[in-house]
Structures are given as structure tokens and as C-alpha cells.
């Protein structure tokens, strides 16, 4: 936690500026019918949690909720929820967006479930993966899955 506090203090003016070398991001871990909900990142071409950049005047929890719905077309039940992890992620340059290589300070939240029958158009390919199918980085989060 000391590292996170130090990074937030050092980069507080550029955390929401996409031209800076350090960005604030947030992601959502949610389970439905025994599977975690993931997306395929359009630039990194890998399976990740739904996530995105925290916008000006937005809190990380709000970003996680907004990005989850935008990317998956699903709506979260926002209560209960918990901050489950904070990660520093190296992001390669993306010339299409005019972004240089940078890092994300990613706040990861667990949400209890999704709202039934609220499926909007998703921005990205969505995957429902079991613990065994999920990328190794996310497998420990499956311990948070409610027992049915």
C-alpha cells in the first residue's frame, strides 16, 4: 500500500491525463453462473477483466462500473462490492491512439453479480471463463466467487 500511496502522490496531476506516463485505471471482476466475465482487449489481443481509464472527476469505482457495461453490454449489481487488488501494469505504446508506453495503476473491484436481462450491445468480445480457463493472473480471484 505504501507503493500505491507514493505513486498517487508523485503522479497526482497526470493520473487522468492520457499523455502522461502514468494513468489511473479500474477494472471489474464479476461472476455469473460459475464463470468469470472477461473481454478480449482490442490492442493487446489478450483476455482481461473489463477495465478502462479513470476520467476527470470520476472515481475508480465509477470507472469500473462504467467500463464493465460499455465493454460487456451487461449491467453490474453494484452492491455489494469490494476493492480486491491494486496493480501496476506496463502498457506498450499504441500509435493508433497516439499513446506512448506507460503504466496503469489499476484498481480492481469485485462485484456480487450482474443484473438479469440487461444485455446491451458490447463494445468488445465477451468471454465467460471458468477458473481453469481464465488467465493465471485472474485465477486467484475465483476464491471470491459465491458458493451456490
* Residue 43: per-residue pLDDT: 87
| Reported confidence tier of residue 9, pLDDT bands at 50, 70, 90 | low
pLDDT, one tens digit per residue, over 14-32 is 555 556 678 899 999 999 9
For every residue of 62-122, DSSP letters joined together read: HHHHHHHHHHHS--EEEEEEEEEEEEEEEE--BTTTTB-SEEEEEEEEEEEEE-TT-----
pLDDT tens string 102-128: 888 999 999 999 998 877 899 999 999
Angle at alpha carbon of residue 136, lines to 133 and 6, rounded to 5°: 140
pLDDT for residue 94: 84
Q: What is the pTM of this model?
A: 0.86
Separation of alpha carbons 48 and 57, rounded Å: 25
- For residues 138-145, give the mean pLDDT: 95
Catalogue all structural domains in the chain, each as residue range(s) with its CATH number.
2-144 (3.90.79.10)
pLDDT of 92-104, one tens digit each? 988 888 888 988 8
Lowest pLDDT segment from 7-11, 68-72, 89-93, 134-138? 7-11
Residue with cell 471470491: 144
pLDDT attached to residue 100: 85
Residue 133 has pLDDT above 60, yes or no: yes
Give per-residue pLDDT as tens, 38-72. 999 988 899 999 999 999 889 999 999 999 999 99
Place of cell 476464491: 143
Amino acid at each position: 500500500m505504501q507503493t500505491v500511496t507514493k505513486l498517487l502522490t508523485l503522479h497526482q496531476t497526470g493520473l487522468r491525463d492520457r499523455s502522461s506516463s502514468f494513468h489511473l485505471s479500474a477494472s471489474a471482476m464479476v461472476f455469473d453462473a460459475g464463470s468469470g466475465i472477461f473481454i478480449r482487449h482490442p490492442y493487446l489481443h489478450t483476455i482481461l477483466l473489463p477495465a478502462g481509464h479513470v476520467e476527470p472527476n470520476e472515481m475508480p469505482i465509477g470507472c469500473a462500473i462504467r467500463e464493465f457495461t460499455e465493454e460487456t453490454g451487461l449491467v453490474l449489481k453494484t452492491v455489494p462490492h469490494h476493492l480486491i487488488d491494486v496493480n501496476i501494469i506496463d502498457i506498450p505504446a499504441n500509435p493508433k491512439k497516439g499513446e506512448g508506453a506507460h503504466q496503469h495503476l489499476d484498481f480492481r473491484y469485485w462485484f456480487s453479480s450482474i443484473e438479469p436481462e440487461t444485455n446491451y450491445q458490447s463494445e468488445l468480445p465477451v468471454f465467460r471463463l471458468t477458473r481453469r480457463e481464465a488467465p493465471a493472473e485472474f485465477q486467484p480471484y475465483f476464491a471470491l466467487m459465491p458458493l451456490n
